[in-house]
Chains A and B, each alone.
Chain A
Amino acid sequence: MSELHRSTPPRRPVTRRTVLRGMAGLGAVAATGGLVAACGGSTASAAPSIGPAPTLGPDTPTPSDAASGTPSAEPTPPPQPEGELYVYNWADYIGEDTIATFEDTYGIKVTYDFFDNMDTMLAKVGTGNSGYDVTFPASINVGPMLARNLLLPLDLAQLPNLVNLGAAWQDPAYDPGNKHSVPYMWWTTGVAYDTQKVAGTQTSWDLLWNPQWSGKMAMLDDYRECFSAALFRLGYDINTTDDAQLDAALAMLQEQKPLLRTYTTDDIGVLSTGDVWVMHAWGADVYQVTPDRPSVSYYLPSEGAVRGSDTMVLLNGAKHPVAAHLFINHMLDAQVAAANTNLIGYMGPNKAAEQYIDPAILADPTVNPSPETVATLQEILDLGADEVKYTDRWTKLRAGA
């Protein structure tokens, strides 16, 4: 073994110290150079960005007109669809055969990926070249995505099925004229609870703050939803930007935290397994829980509840815009929309689809509250620069004891 050892030490030893020193110097130079190049890059999609596309000025190129088809006086022939499509959506959020029917009808191969959290989707799509053509942001995200130049305008001429939407959805406030988005599903957020474990009829948000159910409750992992619950309970506007009101909401949520089991968007999962008896949940998800656990019931608290909607958008940088339009049009078809609703239990905005929807779903107030009830619900709105007030407090809440 001794022949493997040197008899004399090397003349100029490469010690740990010299290596580290050299490495630090090299590293610093390389990093600063790389960083400056990345941030000073001209386009959101091309630069290897270090974060969501850094907001830039007028340098960013506008989306090409050829992709979406310029509306013009002469009738243009329908563009040829590409052979592939990449779609990015929530899990458990589409009909069983919807993709297969689309692939068979148009001969386009669809790659359908899932996300479990809106923030994950925004982070991925925010780089500008995620590889996806169509995705499903909530209505509140359409404005910010547009401002970050992540969306392409829709060519409404390629979406004849748009007329299927009721008048109420043809021109929503968050996206006038449906220029960049098409509504997909709408929903409510309230409280779900296991009637076998929790006795009595419940009507208030107070149930989620009741220490009797400590360790058996959960809240949605969505900061606007959590703050809305607290703000409703305090009697404030859920879109407030008043610091005092938000501090009160934060204090209320901090008071609740020791009682909670977890924060999660998988309300279907934790309710079905029985780990959680009282949950801040999306109404239509309860529809998917009841087959496994029929004792779970859902209500919209009397202090107020949230309604919202999800949309379909065409992403900037999409390589298959024509196929994407065909897909969105397919989703607007009355029977396809009904099939989606019949599986996942969410109500769509599609008036023409109502004749094909399972009557049990139409009659279920959890999934399809009456228009009078809907009128009392509030929408969460994007607050632009003031969102920071919520996110900073959310960080404090999650990091705290």
Chain B
Amino acid sequence: MNSDRRRDAVLLAPGLGWLVLFFAVPLVMIFIVSLGSRDQYGGVVLDGLSARNYGRALEPDFLPTVLNSFKYALATTILSIAIAYPMAYYIARYGGRRKALLLVLVMLPFWTSWVIRTYAWMILLRDNGVVNSVLGTVGIGPFQMLNTDIAVIFGMTYGFLPFTILPLYVAIDRLDPALVHAARDLYASSRAAFIHVTLPLTMPGIVAAAILTFIPTMGDYVTPDLLGGAQTTTVAKVIQTLFMSSKDWPFGAALGFLMIVITIVGTVAGLRFLRREVIG
């Protein structure tokens, strides 16, 4: 079995190396910086390490920001799954020969820069933008859509939809159609077959899609910055303010580390639930 172990080690090495070099090492560095303090000019001072910044992060001043991030991520995830499930279902079940093409179309927007697509949303949603102009011709007054919570949620849903569609597609595609036929044979209506057969069996896909959407949206910076307004502050924006304007790198590092820890804990808990309750 030595050759097996060696083969395992060789196959794992690049992935593991990448993970250590670009995730584990920076994570530890962030943690160490978060224990430091800032000097007069915004540099990092590492003598006198303490957990003071974590105390600051838990102050009530920052609660609205954390709740905001959570709110957007949750709303985006729910909306994404609601939109992605029918799409993935259609592609998996009725795509036929065009399945590959449809999947490429789902991924196509990623060929354009994320920032440019968000700017496109700005042009659409401005007060004098495309949507308001069209509504104006019918006489419906201009609505403020840009710089609102709705704009941020829509923008993030649009951006992260492919992340949601693909795991759902995989889960639905794996589902053996014979099981649904069997349910129908046993006098289930299509609705009952869906609720009692398809949905539970694709639940792992739904959980995976939810996790894959929730995590990036919690930390998204570009969309809340460009589409959001003064009140749509997220943790990512506060961290940017801390690193750039306030030049308080240790505090920013503490917030960042906290976010990572919360995300990891949440993900592990979600996966545990997935293993135990859903797969069995």
Chain A residues within 8 Å of B, Cβ to Cβ: 10-12, 14, 19, 23-24, 26-28, 30-32, 34-35, 39, 50-55, 117, 119-120, 122-123, 126, 144, 147-148, 215, 218-219, 221-223, 257-258, 260-263, 273-275, 384-385, 387-388, 391-392, 394-396, 398-401
What class of interface size applies to chain B in its complex with A?
35 or more
Say yes or no: is B247 at the interface (Cβ < 8 Å to chain A). Answer: yes
User: Nearest Cβ in chain B — how far from A302, in angstroms?
Assistant: 26
Q: In the complex, given contacts A31-B28, A262-B147, A399-B65, what are 7 additional A-B residue pairs having Cβ atoms less than 8 angstroms apart?
A: A11-B5, A28-B24, A34-B29, A52-B249, A275-B127, A275-B147, A394-B245
Identify A275's interface contact among B27, B29, B45, B146, CB under 8 A. Answer: B146
Given A10-B8, A395-B242, answer yes or no on A260-B64 (Cβ-Cβ < 8 Å): no
Cross-chain contact A262 with B229 (CB below 8 angstroms) = yes
User: Nearest Cβ in chain B — how far from A233, in angstroms?
Assistant: 18
How many angstroms between the C-alpha atoms of A258 and B32 in the bound complex? 36
Cross-chain contact B233 with A398 (CB below 8 angstroms) = yes
> Which residues of the partner chain A approach B64 to less than 8 Å between Cβ atoms?
399-401
Say yes or no: is B186 at the interface (Cβ < 8 Å to chain A). Answer: no
> Which residues of the partner chain A approach B12 to less than 8 Å between Cβ atoms?
14, 19
Given A14-B8, A398-B241, A399-B233, answer yes or no on A50-B19 (Cβ-Cβ < 8 Å): no
Cross-chain contact B62 with A399 (CB below 8 angstroms) = yes
Cross-chain contact B1 with A12 (CB below 8 angstroms) = yes
How many angstroms between the C-alpha atoms of A74 and B185 in the bound complex? 105
**Closest Cβ neighbor of A256 among chain B residues:** B230
> Which residues of the partner chain A approach B262 to less than 8 Å between Cβ atoms?
none
Given A10-B1, A126-B42, A384-B40, answer yes or no on A215-B144 (Cβ-Cβ < 8 Å): yes
Which 6 A-B pairs give the minimum distances between C-beta atoms? Answer: A27-B24, A31-B28, A391-B246, A260-B230, A11-B1, A119-B244
How many angstroms between the C-alpha atoms of A126 and B238 in the bound complex? 21
Cross-chain contact A50 with B246 (CB below 8 angstroms) = no
> Which residues of the partner chain A approach B44 to less than 8 Å between Cβ atoms?
39, 50-51, 54
User: Nearest Cβ in chain A — how far from B191, in angstroms?
Assistant: 33
> Which residues of the partner chain A approach B245 to less than 8 Å between Cβ atoms?
119, 221-223, 391, 394
How many angstroms between the C-alpha atoms of A391 and B246 in the bound complex? 5
Say yes or no: is B158 at the interface (Cβ < 8 Å to chain A). Answer: no
Say yes or no: is B184 at the interface (Cβ < 8 Å to chain A). Answer: no
Given A23-B16, A26-B20, answer yes or no on A275-B8 (Cβ-Cβ < 8 Å): no
How many angstroms between the C-alpha atoms of A14 and B5 in the bound complex? 8
**Closest Cβ neighbor of A123 among chain B residues:** B244
Cross-chain contact B238 with A399 (CB below 8 angstroms) = yes
Identify A51's interface contact among B128, B144, B237, B249, CB under 8 A. Answer: B249
Interface string of B18-59 (1 = CB under 8 A from A): 011101111111001100001111111110000000000000
How many angstroms between the C-alpha atoms of A122 and B24 in the bound complex? 28
How many angstroms between the C-alpha atoms of A215 and B20 in the bound complex? 46
How many angstroms between the C-alpha atoms of A147 and B42 in the bound complex? 12
> Which residues of the partner chain B approach A11 to less than 8 Å between Cβ atoms?
1, 4-5
For chain B residues 150-164, which have a beta carbon within 8 Å of chain A? none
How many angstroms between the C-alpha atoms of A388 and B8 in the bound complex? 52
Interface of A is mostly: helix
Cross-chain contact B19 with A385 (CB below 8 angstroms) = no
Cross-chain contact A399 with B28 (CB below 8 angstroms) = no
Identify A55's interface contact among B5, B43, B238, B246, CB under 8 A. Answer: B43
Cross-chain contact B24 with A55 (CB below 8 angstroms) = no
**Closest Cβ neighbor of B146 among chain A residues:** A275
**Closest Cβ neighbor of B67 among chain A residues:** A401
> Which residues of the partner chain B approach A384 to less than 8 Å between Cβ atoms?
40
Say yes or no: is B189 at the interface (Cβ < 8 Å to chain A). Answer: no
Cross-chain contact B243 with A257 (CB below 8 angstroms) = no
For chain B residues 203-236, which have a beta carbon within 8 Å of chain A? 228-231, 233
**Closest Cβ neighbor of B19 among chain A residues:** A23
How many angstroms between the C-alpha atoms of A385 and B5 in the bound complex? 57
User: Nearest Cβ in chain B — how far from A252, in angstroms?
Assistant: 15
Given A55-B41, A275-B127, A398-B241, answer yes or no on A31-B24 (Cβ-Cβ < 8 Å): yes
User: Nearest Cβ in chain A — how far from B120, in angstroms?
Assistant: 15
Cross-chain contact A32 with B230 (CB below 8 angstroms) = no
Given A30-B20, A262-B230, answer yes or no on A395-B248 (Cβ-Cβ < 8 Å): yes
11 contacts between A and B (CB under 8 A): A12-B5, A27-B20, A30-B20, A31-B24, A31-B25, A39-B44, A55-B41, A274-B128, A395-B241, A398-B241, A399-B65
Cross-chain contact A394 with B42 (CB below 8 angstroms) = no
**Closest Cβ neighbor of B125 among chain A residues:** A275
> Which residues of the partner chain A approach B237 to less than 8 Å between Cβ atoms?
398
> Which residues of the partner chain A approach B39 to less than 8 Å between Cβ atoms?
54-55
Say yes or no: is B126 at the interface (Cβ < 8 Å to chain A). Answer: yes
Say yes or no: is B176 at the interface (Cβ < 8 Å to chain A). Answer: no
User: Nearest Cβ in chain A — how far from B17, in angstroms?
Assistant: 9
How many angstroms between the C-alpha atoms of A287 and B53 in the bound complex? 44
Say yes or no: is B277 at the interface (Cβ < 8 Å to chain A). Answer: no
Given A34-B25, A275-B146, A392-B246, answer yes or no on A261-B230 (Cβ-Cβ < 8 Å): yes
How many angstroms between the C-alpha atoms of A104 and B233 in the bound complex? 47
User: Nearest Cβ in chain A — how far from B277, in angstroms?
Assistant: 19
**Closest Cβ neighbor of B42 among chain A residues:** A52
Cross-chain contact B238 with A398 (CB below 8 angstroms) = yes
Cross-chain contact B247 with A257 (CB below 8 angstroms) = no
Identify A23's interface contact among B8, B24, B32, B243, CB under 8 A. Answer: B24
Given A50-B33, A52-B41, answer yes or no on A39-B46 (Cβ-Cβ < 8 Å): yes
> Which residues of the partner chain B approach A19 to less than 8 Å between Cβ atoms?
12, 16
How many angstroms between the C-alpha atoms of A122 and B42 in the bound complex? 10
> Which residues of the partner chain B approach A215 to less than 8 Å between Cβ atoms?
144
Cross-chain contact B229 with A260 (CB below 8 angstroms) = yes
Cross-chain contact B229 with A261 (CB below 8 angstroms) = yes
Cross-chain contact B246 with A274 (CB below 8 angstroms) = no
Interface string of B78-97 (1 = CB under 8 A from A): 00000000000000000000
User: Nearest Cβ in chain B — how far from A34, in angstroms?
Assistant: 7
